[in-house]
Amino acid sequence: MEYFLTEEQQTIKGLARKIAEERVLPVRAELDEREEFPRAIVKDLADADMFRVFIPEQYEGLGGGCLELCLVVEELSRICGGVATTYAVNALGCYTLIEYGSEEQKQKYLPDIAAGKKLAAFAITEATAGSDVSGIKTTAEKVEGGYLLNGSKQFITNAPEADIYAVIVLTDKTKGPRGASTIIVEKGTPGFSFGKKEKKMGIRASSTGELVFRNCLVPEENLIGRAGAGFIQAMRLFDRSRPGIAAQAVGIAQGALEAAVDYAQQRVQFGQPIITLPVVQDMLAEMAIQVEAARALTYAAARTVDSGARNLTEAAAGAKVFASDVAVKVTADAVQVCGGTGYMRDFPVEKMMRDAKVTQIYEGTNQILRNAIAMELRKRKGRTV
Amino acid sequence: MNIIVCLKQVPATTQVRIDPQTNNLIREGIESIINPYDTYALEEGVRLRERFGGKVTAVSMGPPQAESALREAISLGADEAVLLCDRAFAGSDTLATAYTLARAMNKLGDYDLIICGRQTLDGDTGQVGPELSQMLDVPCVAYVSQIEDVADGALRARRMVEDGYEVIESPLPAVITVVKEISTPRLPSLRGIARSKSAAIPVWGAGDLALEPEKTGLAGSPTRVINVYSPQRTCQGEILEGDPAEQVECLIGRLKDAGLI
C-alpha cells in the first residue's frame, strides 16, 4: 500500500532492510539458540547511522521522528525481533532525556548514543511494580553530593549491555507516584551492579537483566527535569514509544507471512502446492489483511506522535494493542500453514511466534492499555473530532 | 594519502548474453551493480584513508548511467567521484580503457595510490590495472590480499600467488589490484547516502582529457572479438551408483581395465 513516505524515509527503510537481510539473517538462528547479545550487529547499525535516526540534529543525530524509528524497527523485526528490541530500547532510554533533559545532559550523552558508542536503556519495572507503577520501591534519597539509590529493577532490556540507564526512582516515597523521578545512572557507578540475566521465551538475542542499587551515589545533575515528574515523564515516554512496539509486531508478522507464503508455494501435497488449496488461501489472505491493517494503524499512530498532538494515549496504545494481537495471531497461523516443518526450530516461524508474544506484554500489557483507551473514550464520550 | 579507486558498473549476473551480430555483451534489462572486485578496492581505499588521512576519489568510465555507481561509491565512503563519459569512448578494449583512465589520473594528478579490482565480472580480463600502471609509468602490484603498511613513501603488501603469497614492497605512487580476501565491504551509511545524493560528479569527455583520437575508443582498440562461443564438452564425468562398497568395487574394476593399477 502507498504510505506516502518521503525519499529520506524510504532510504532509511531500505537501508534497514539491507542490514537486516545481509547482516542479521545469516546469524539470527544462532543468536536465538545461544541467547547471544548481537554486538557485531550493533556495530553495523552504528556504522550505518541507524542510532542517529531518533536523535535531534544538534546532538549529531538525523532528527527523525517516531515514524522513522518505526520504519527501522519494522525492517529489523521482519528478520529478527530480538535484534529490533536491542535497537528500539536505545530510543526508549533517550526519549525522556531528549524531551526533558538539560542542554548539558543532552550534550553529555546524546552524541555518544547517536554514534552507537554507548547504548541506552530504560528502567521502571520492579518485582512489585508492573502495570501498577505505584508499586515502585527503589528510592533515591537526597544527600550531600547527590542522590543515594537503593533498590532493584527487573526485566530491564539491554541490561547489562547498556552504558546509560534512565531509571525511575522515588525521590519522595511519601508521595507515591508523585514522588517519582527519572535519574540517569551510568554503568560503573559504585553501588550499581547487575543481578540475574533472564532466560526468555522469545526475543532471545536481546539481553534482559536486573539492576541492583546499594547505596549508589549519583550526582544531582543526573536528575532529568524536576523531582517528582518521573511518573508523568514515563507515561509521556510510553505514549511516544508504543508505536515502536507496534512496528516491531508488524515486522515480526510480516516476516511470518512471507515465510508462510513461500512455504505454501513450495510444499506439494495431493499433487499440488498447498497454496492452491482454498483453506490455505483463506488463511494467508486473512494474515495479509491483518498485517496491512496493523501497519496502517501503526504508521498513523507514529505520524500522530510526530504531529506534536498533545493527547497520544489512544493512538499509541491502540496501535500497540492491535498490532501485537495481529502478530501473535499471524505468527501462530504461519506455524500452522508450515505444519510439522513450521514447528521445528530449523525453520524460522516458530521463533517468530515466540518473539511475537512479548509485544502483547511489554510497554503496557494489552489489558492495561485497553483500560487506558476506555478511560479516554469516557472523556471524549466516544466522539471523533 | 590521496587514493584513486577505479570502478566499473557491470550487469548483476554472470549469465550475460552475447549479441550474435556484434559479439558484444547485451546489457539491456539487467540490473547494474558495482563490479564486486571493485567494491573491495573501494573498501580498502576508504580504510587506508581512515588510517592515514587524505581522500578517496572514485573514477569510472562508462555510459551516463554509471553515475549511479559513483553515487553509491560516495555512500560507501568515497570523498569525490569523476565520471569519464563520451560517445568517443564507445568500443574501448582494455588498452583504450587504460589509456583513457591514465589521462584522467594525470588530470587528477597528485595521487599516491590507485586501487583497482583484480578483474571485472563481465569482461573478466584483469588487464586494465596493469596496463594503467604501464601508461602512468608507476609500479603495479596485482592480486593484493593485504596492505601490511604504508610508510616513507612506500607500501608493503601481500599478493596472492598460486601456492601462497608474496610480500612486495613498492614505492608510491603505485597501482594495485585487489582480491576479495583483502576486506569485507561495508554497508552504506545514512549520512553517506545523503552526501551521495547531493554530491556534484563532474563528467569528463575526450576533450577534457585531450585524448588522441587514434588511441581512443574503437580506433584505439586493437582487440577484435572474432567469435564468442561456449566450448564443446569433449569429455564427461561419470557418477558411479550403488552403496560405497559397490562403488569401490566398480572403480577398482575400471582402473584395472584401463591398466592403471
pLDDT tens sequence across A84-122? 999 999 999 999 999 999 999 999 999 999 999 999 999
In one letter, which amino acid is B1?
M
Taking the C-alpha atoms of residue B169 and residue B176, their distance in angstroms, rounded to an integer, is 12
CB proximity A12 to B under 8 Å: yes
Residue B192 inside a domain? The answer is: yes
CATH number of the domain encompassing residue B112? 3.40.50.620
| Residue B24 reports pLDDT greater than 80 | no
The total domain count for chain B is: 1
Identity of the amino acid at B223:
T
Q: What span, in angstroms and rounded, lies between the C-alpha atoms of A187 and A194?
A: 9
Please judge whether B190 and A52 are an interchain contact, meaning their C-beta atoms are less than 8 angstroms apart: yes
Rounded CA-CA distance A209/A64 in Å is: 29
Distance CA A41, CA A27 (A): 10
DSSP per residue, B82-150 = EEE--GGGTT--HHHHHHHHHHHHHHH---SEEEEESS-TTT----HHHHHHHHHT--EEEEEEEEEEE
pLDDT of res. B234: 81
Confidence of residue A131 (pLDDT cuts 50, 70, 90): confident
The DSSP output letter for A251 is H
Average the pLDDT over A59-85 and give the result: 97
How many A/B residue pairs have CB atoms within 8 Å? 32
Candidates A42, A49, A52, A54: best to mutate against B (most CBs of B within 10 A) is A49
| Mean pLDDT score of chain A | 96
C-alpha A4: how far from chain center: 24
Residues B189, A47: C-beta atoms closer than 8 Å: yes
What domains lie within chain A, and their CATH numbers?
7-118 (1.10.540.10), 121-229 (2.40.110.10), 231-379 (1.20.140.10)
Taking only the tens place, the pLDDT of each residue in A48-66 is 999 999 999 999 999 999 9
Q: State CA A36 to chain mean position distance.
A: 18
Tell me, yes or no, whether B176 lies in a domain: yes
Q: Does residue B49 have a pLDDT over 90?
A: yes
With H, G, I as helix, E, B as strand and everything else as coil, classify residue A40: helix
Asked whether residue B96 is domain-assigned, the answer is yes
The answer for residues whose C-beta is within 8 angstroms of residue B20's C-beta and 6 or more apart is: none
Interface test with A, best of B47, B187, B191, B198 (most A CBs within 10 A): B187
pLDDT at B254 over 80: yes
Asked, for residue B188, whether it belongs to a domain, the answer is yes
pLDDT score, position B18: 75
Tens-place pLDDT, residues A310-369: 899 999 999 999 999 999 999 999 999 999 999 999 999 999 999 999 999 999 999 999
CA distance B62 to B115: 18
Is the model's pLDDT at B229 over the cut of 80?
A: no
A44 to B191: CB separation less than 8 angstroms, yes or no? no
| Mutation target vs B (from A15, A24, A41, A53; most B CBs, 10 A cutoff) | A15
Question: What is the pTM (predicted TM-score) of this model?
Answer: 0.87
How many other C-beta atoms lie within 10 A of the C-beta of residue A248? 33
In a domain, B196, yes or no: yes
The verdict on a CB contact (< 8 Å) between B188 and A48 is yes
Residue B240 lies in a domain: no
Chain A residues whose CB is inside 8 A of the B190 CB are: 11-12, 15, 48-50, 52-53, 62
* pLDDT score for B26: 73
Q: At what angle do helices A230-266 and A349-357 cross, to 10 degrees?
A: 160
Q: Is residue B46 part of a domain?
A: yes
Interchain CB distance below 8 Å, B189 and A23? no
pLDDT for res B123:
78
Residues of B in contact with A52 (CB under 8 A): 190-191
Model pLDDT for residues B2-21, shown as the tens digit of each residue: 999 999 999 887 666 777 77
Q: Which whole-number Å values give the CA distances from B68 to A139, B8, B115, B117, B257, in the listed order? A: 57, 11, 20, 18, 61
- Tell me whether residue A141 is one of the annotated catalytic residues: no
What does the alpha-carbon distance between residue B4 and residue B113 come to, in Å, rounded to a whole number? 6
Q: What is the tens place of the pLDDT at every residue in A224-270?
A: 999 999 999 999 999 999 999 999 999 999 999 999 999 999 999 99
Please check whether residue B184 lies inside any domain of the structure.
Answer: yes
CB < 8 Å to A44, chain B: 187
What's the complex ipTM?
0.89
Contact at CB, A15 and B191, closer than 8 angstroms: no
Residue range(s) defining the domain that contains residue B78: 2-220
